[in-house]
Amino acid sequence: MPHRDARACLVSLLLGVVVCAAGCGSGRYTVTGRVTYPDGTPVTEGSVIGEAADGDRRVMAQGDIRADGSFTWGTLKPGDGAVPGSYKVAVLPRALGDSELAQGMKPAVAGKFTNYESSKLSIDVTPGGPNRLDIVVTRPGEKEQ
């Protein structure tokens, strides 16, 4: 009997490995872009986040904005890409501290860009790519061009 239990355990383990190998392949594709203001100046800090529906669950991807305004999305770890789908997108500026707010500093991005619905930003991530999302945002109080 112990031999049979060991065999069943080994078969279960091998099936798990096969299923994971078939379904756990990255299945994620590179998404890059740049966040700038209308004059071409880059937004230098913050995050670009995306949300897509995958059946009944939500899939999230995000990337930190670098000093040159560029970003690369990741799903499980930074830069590992996003699964295919239609993503709603938002840009989140770096959060300001109390002392910065007390000095009258404002966020780097107008509030409408921080919400999926009001930003009206989106991207369809596809296996064939290129999956590039260049975003032009305004500062708080600035008129859109």
User: Is residue 74 domain-resident?
Assistant: yes
CATH of residue 70 = 2.60.40
Domain that holds residue 113: 28-136
Tokens 């004059």 sit on residue:
39
Predicted local confidence at residue 142, as pLDDT? 81
* d(C-alpha 31, C-alpha 139), whole Å: 24
Residues 50, 87: contact at Cβ < 8 Å? yes
Predicted local confidence at residue 60, as pLDDT? 96
User: Is residue 4 domain-resident?
Assistant: no
Predicted local confidence at residue 133, as pLDDT? 97
How many structural domains does the chain have? 1
* d(C-alpha 120, C-alpha 34), whole Å: 17
In the chain, which stretches have pLDDT less than 50? 1, 3-25
